[in-house]
Amino acid sequence: MIRPANLSDLDALVQLEARCFDTDRVSRRSFHYLLTRGHAMLLVDEERNGLRGYALIRFQARSTRARLYSIAIDHGHRSQGIGRALLAATEDTARKHGASSMRLEIRKDNHVAARLYEKMGYQRFGAYLDYYADHMDALRMEKSLVPHSHAAITGNATPPAHRVT
C-alpha cells in the first residue's frame, strides 16, 4: 500500500536507506526535516512487515517543476512493480501540487533505473560530471506531467544537493 510517510516512519526510512545505498544517503536529520518542514512529499510502500520502498519528491517555490529527489526499493522486493507504482504515485502527487514536469538524476551506470524511467516517459537531457561521492556521473532526465505538453526540456538548472540512484 502506498501512502504519505509520517514521523512514525522515520526509523524504518533510515534503515531502508542504509540497506539500499552504500554512499550518498539521505540522513536521519534530512528525513526529519523533509517530513516536517521541507517543501517535499515522501511516499512509502508498506506491507504488514514494514516498508518495502519510498519515493521523495521536492517542490520549489515559484516553480512548476518537481524533482524526484530519491527513490529506494528494498533489495528483497525489487522487480515486483513497486518502483513503477511509487513513481506513478509521485507523478500524481506532483500534479496535485501544480507541477507540470518532474526531473531526476540517476547514476550513469544504473541501467535498470534508466530503462524504467524511459518506459515511464522520461527523456535524457544532460549529465552532471563527477556527481556522486564515488565520482560517478549522473544522467539528468525529465518528464512532462501535463498531457499534450511540448515544453522544451533544458539543462539550465543548478546541480541539486542529492540524487536518485
Structural domain span for residue 119: 2-144
Q: Indicate whether 162 belongs to any domain.
A: no
pLDDT score, position 148: 62
Number of structural domains (the chain) is 1
Q: Indicate whether 37 belongs to any domain.
A: yes
Q: Indicate whether 62 belongs to any domain.
A: yes
The candidate with the shortest Cα–Cα distance to 51, out of 79, 112, 101, 10, is: 10
Q: Indicate whether 116 belongs to any domain.
A: yes
- What CATH code is carried by the domain that includes residue 24? 3.40.630.30
Separation between Cα atoms, residue 139 and residue 14, nearest integer Å: 25
Q: Indicate whether 137 belongs to any domain.
A: yes
pLDDT score, position 73: 94
pTM of the entire structure? Answer: 0.84
pLDDT score, position 49: 82
pLDDT score, position 45: 96
Q: Indicate whether 10 belongs to any domain.
A: yes
Q: Indicate whether 158 belongs to any domain.
A: no
CB 63 within 8 A of CB 157: no
pLDDT score, position 76: 84
pLDDT score, position 37: 86
User: 67: left (phi > 0), else alpha (psi -120 to 50), else beta?
Assistant: beta
Q: Indicate whether 78 belongs to any domain.
A: yes
- One digit per residue, the tens of pLDDT, for the chain of length 165 reads 999 999 999 999 999 999 998 888 899 999 999 999 889 999 999 998 889 999 999 998 888 999 999 999 998 888 889 999 999 999 999 999 999 999 999 999 999 899 999 999 999 999 999 998 889 999 999 999 997 654 444 444 444 444 454
Query: In 3-state terms, what secondary structure has residue 15?
Result: helix
